């Protein structure tokens, strides 16, 4: 979070630059040689349900 010096009060304060907004998409990419591997498949099997269940907390 950005921190600014408030010149009128001479104190440090935090200010958000943008309002939080949801991500458009989350991409997971891999090289074609490893994409069908069992380890990456297991990772996708865990990641996709996790992201779907925490959709509301994924904001930027």
pLDDT tens-digit readout, 14-24: 666 667 776 67
- Contact predicate 13/3, CB 8 Å: yes
Q: What pLDDT score was predicted for residue 46?
A: 94
Token pair 């959709």 is found at 55
Q: Is the dihedral of CA 40, 45, 48, 54 positive or negative?
A: negative
pTM of the entire structure? 0.50
Distance of CA 32 to the CA centre of its chain: 25
Residue 56 has which token pair? 């509301």
Q: Rg of the chain's alpha carbons, rounded to an integer?
A: 19
């Amino acid at each position: 979070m950005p921190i600014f010096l408030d010149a009128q009060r001479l104190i440090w304060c935090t200010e958000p630059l943008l309002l939080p907004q949801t991500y458009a998409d989350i991409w997971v990419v891999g090289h074609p040689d490893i994409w069908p591997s069992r380890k990456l498949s297991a990772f996708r099997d865990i990641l996709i349900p996790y992201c779907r269940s925490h959709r509301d907390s994924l904001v930027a």
